[in-house]
A and B are shown apart, each in its own frame.
Chain A
């Protein structure tokens, strides 16, 4: 493909993305506005319906993002903007983004972090995207009213872990879960949703940052997904 053709293809993908995201934004904002009670009180039944619509609109957003991410990763089009990053802040932002899904399933997030956490040196957008995918899976596979633990610890790298107490994954199936287009539903069982791109993308995004992703799971007990990302070195302005 010539450079001109490649550019046209990229512009087309951006345009499609823009055209899909714009109406999705107004749909999500409208639902959030109603759910926030800004238009007046809503009945419990109305709230349930609105929350379901909000959940599905977010799911649609995830699918759009997944397809675009896959395209970009495959084309190595992601240009990382690595910078000094406060990991606790990044975690808090990601959890806030999942607020609607957490509330819908009445899931509590318990955060744990080392008292002293050095800065990471990462591309914030891609690591946020990866962490959101891990949180999304943890919520999806947790039962209503359960807890999710999010922890951050530092050694030679910073490790962020997302732990759920859901249905877990058969250890024999674990090697398959990062395979692109693998339906997680086929591994875990029926009744779940998603197109199975999330973990493949999370892995690619973390690896693009020089990190690693790991999943540990026990069937019937839960799953712990961890990403290890590089620290900010002193030469890059890190804490001493």
Chain B
């Protein structure tokens, strides 16, 4: 089963994403900060849905660490944030994000984007 790691410090965001993704037949693991994200990423999820403004370790540092680690560097990351990007997501793509999504986004569209990234990853 495809495994998604959802990382967000808003408990309700995590809960509703977890419930909705599970309804789409995906396995979900969760983390509430950047450090926990690094730990959970060792469980080799197929994709990480990462908020950027996070406590303990922010999304930017978490991405750097994920890309530095041999066992997590190939996991595609979708940055899902409520913080607008002034450079069209350039910063996130520069850090190795597979996609960048600004909240709020329709859940159906989010799932569509997750599927697209997973398809691209499979084709690699």
Contacts and interface: CB of A to CB of B under 8 A. Distances in A.
Interface of A: 10, 14, 17-18, 21-22, 24-26, 28-30, 32-33, 36, 38, 61, 68, 72, 77-81, 93, 96-97, 99-100, 123-126
Interface of B: 10, 12-13, 16-17, 19-20, 23, 53, 81-84, 86-90, 102-109, 112
Contact of A21 (B17, B19, B104): B104
Given A38-B19, A68-B84, A99 B106 contact: yes
Contact of A18 (B83, B106, B108): B83
A33 B81 CA distance: 20
Contacts of A36: 107-108
Contacts of A61: 104
Give the dominant DSSP class at A's interface. helix
B108 A99 contact: yes
A96 B82 contact: no
Nearest to A78: B86
Given A21-B104, A32-B107, A123 B84 contact: no
A22 B82 contact: yes
Contacts of B20: 29, 33, 38
A216 B15 CA distance: 46
A126 B85 CA distance: 12
A144 B13 CA distance: 33
